[in-house]
Amino acid sequence: MTGENAKRKLGLVVNPLAGIGGRVGLKGSDGLETVRRAFELGAVPVSPSRTVEMLRELAGRRDDILLVTYPFEMGADEAKEAGFETVVLGSIVSGETTQADTRQAAREIVEHGVELLLFVGGDGTARDIYAAVGEGVPALGIPAGVKMHSSVYAVNPRRAAQLVEAFLAGDAPLAQMEVMDIDEAQFREGRLSAQLYGYLSVPYAERLVQGAKVASTGAEDSPLPIAEYVAETMDDGFYYVLGPGSTVKAIGDELGIDKTLLGVDVVHRGKLVGKDLNEAQLLALIEGKAAKLVVTVIGGQGYVFGRGNQQISPAVIRQVGRENVIIVATKSKLGALDGPLLADTGDPDCDTYLSGYVRVVTGYGVFTSRKLEC
């Protein structure tokens, strides 16, 4: 291809089904049955649009980047939409991509001699990339999954592009970052069991790469005072959307309701009126009603939106209103964060809408102010 040798060759592998279960409340995307169910519920693939978002942030480098990728929705379509020159390898059945396709794509692309392998997906995709290429080539994930325990991903597509720029300029040294994943079956039943699978060599720059998720432990200060305060101050005039997480679960326990640990539930006048709801169900339930949204912070990462709570979509957030968002977190969880709180809803305008200083409930009537960024 003309000019190929003069360009910086980057690999691109897109898992087109990553994150498809998030907004429809399936809490994951692994397995053909889960994917089938997601489509039945009206799910729309999210990884293609996040890939294009990242590539468009690199628009200024179109003339000196050559993307080595796989056909159709595994990278070629997204690269074409963003205006990048490509080398397309391999073959797939469009609309029927598999885990084996992801691994084969990664191997073939690396064999083509790329400087950096970009991949789009979630923790399962990171495992596939690690299984295919190990630590043999620098790699960077663009987050598109539901749950994101691995630290091999950029904070969001925009920051992924910034990290690519830094890497190409020689300003992002490589670091060994964790590939983590959980047992999907246990996760769907409300139990978390994360495992370390290995490490990828990831370009690193502070605040551009997300941290590994840290689970809550008994060693942290109790969420009980937070739960007591929020429960006692609930206004009967509002519907309360309760997000996932152990801190919010404690509020449900205080109310005496069967709050799901990993789902999104709705409470009105102290009663559970919606359990484990998806985006469409949430929107239908709170339409025309005054509502508040109670969410917590992911330990070790700082995400408030966009990791594990995709049911709380930009449409839900806008319907509730930024002023009606209640963020809860223990002091120890906040103290362990190196950076700001984060929003990555998949809608840059919504992320900007959420950004700024926010109040966090850290105890009974105790608050702190933290900056939320996108």
Nearest to 222 by CA among 325, 327, 333, 299: 333
Taken in order 74, 142, 313, 223, the sign of the CA dihedral is positive
- Residue 44 confidence (pLDDT): 82
- C-alpha–C-alpha distance, residues 145 and 308, integer Å: 9
pLDDT at 1: 41
In percent, the amount of the chain with pLDDT more than 70 equals: 89
**pLDDT of res. 29:** 60
Residue-level pLDDT at 182: 79
pLDDT given at position 19 = 76
pLDDT at 218: 47
Q: Angle, nearest 10°, between helix axes 224-232 and 246-255?
A: 50
Q: CA-CA distance, 327 to 359, in Å (whole number)?
A: 7
Give the span between the Cα atoms of 45 and 40, in whole angstroms: 13
Residue 330, pLDDT score: 95
pLDDT, mean over the chain: 91
What pLDDT score does 28 carry?
A: 58
Nearest to 112 by CA among 80, 173, 62, 66: 66
pLDDT recorded at residue 314: 97
**Residue appearing with tokens 């923790």:** 123
- Token pair belonging to 340: 């700001």
- The predicted-structure confidence for 17-76, as pLDDT tens digits, reads as follows 887 766 766 755 666 666 667 667 776 889 999 999 999 999 999 999 999 999 999 999
* H or E stretch at 274: strand 271-274
Total Cβ atoms within 10 A of residue 213: 23
**Tokens (6 digits) for 74:** 């595994």
Cβ neighbours for 167, distance < 8 A, ≥ 6 positions apart: 115, 116, 138, 140, 203
243 contact partners, CB below 8 Å, separation of at least 6 = 264, 293, 294, 295, 296, 309, 312
pLDDT under 50: residue ranges of the chain: 1-2, 218-219
Half-sphere exposure of 131 (CA within 13 A, CB side): 15
Q: Which amino acid is at 90?
A: G
